Amino acid sequence: MRVLITGGAGYLGTEIVKKLVQIKTVKEIVVYDNLSKGNYNFFLCTCIGGDNIRFVEGDILDTRKLKKELAKVDVVIHAAAKVATPYTDHDPHLYEQVNHWGTAELSYAIEESNVQKVIHISSVSVYGSSVKSKLIDENTPLNPKTYYSISKMRGESFMARLGEKIPTHIIRIGNLYGFNQSMRFDAVINRFAFDANFHKKITIHGNGMQERAFINVDKAAKIITNLLVDENKKSSLCNLVDFNKSVMDIAMTFKEIYPELEMQFINQHLKLRNLAIGTNCSMFDEIRTGEVDIKQELQHIIMQFAFH
């Protein structure tokens, strides 16, 4: 089996590559990335291992290069995206270019190839918001609220179309957190971990009561790579979320770890939207280990810092 992963040098991509090298049936891993986020740390860590990785510096809008690489692979994992935090929403053209039209170009190229399976990484942000005490599931109508989430929804539609011809798995993933060498620090838990450890102060937008859906990057990568060896030929759609917590709940857990922690609020009078997602996706069945110990998870991140 030969696998191409777009955005393979990114935060989630790095963790997926670590899992792919452990699968004996994977003969080659093509890491396709334009390095627009400057993820050179991907190349500096020997912890990935494996002698079957080939890096291609390329953009998903480069159709010629995409077609050349797709001619040699069996599975595509599409993780490349222009990402956003919940509090930023700028440059709509770039979101459209990468997340919408880039995904469209990839889907067209896959149609002309011999690819046998597609795994598309989307986002739970396509749902927009949830009503307090009511969890969103895969049947909930999409109602994106930002340029980012609109572009992800539009990109999804192109990949969903492939599902009629080849097994295509659309994974709507929650807020990622956890350590790896390509770690994102614009994700809320990772940002809090860094600021709490090194500055003893965290910044909270709004009143902090907004709920968010989370999953550890390591667990998400395990579930995604399990799909490679799954013999189920049917296409699927799944929300990949492990737990829901308010931003304030996360902040107070850091406060338990750092009693001297200071909390700074920006626009504290604002009540920001909730986005709480059901955690009953069947893909969890093999690796679910019970309720997540949030404090333990946060302490594990902190212990990976060079000094703490």
Active site residues: 148
Contact (CB, 8 A) for 245 and 214: yes
Q: How far apart are CA 256 and CA 239, in angstroms?
A: 30
Contact (CB, 8 A) for 97 and 147: no
Tokens 């935060």 found at:
11
Q: What is the dihedral of CA 100, 242, 17, 180, to 10 degrees?
A: 110
Instruction: Indicate the residue type of 210.
Output: Q
Contact (CB, 8 A) for 291 and 229: no
Contact (CB, 8 A) for 128 and 136: no
- Separation in Å, CA 254 to CA 174, 194, 195, 301: 20, 11, 10, 11
Q: How far apart are CA 41 and CA 92, in angstroms?
A: 28
- The enclosing H or E element of 30 equals strand 28-33
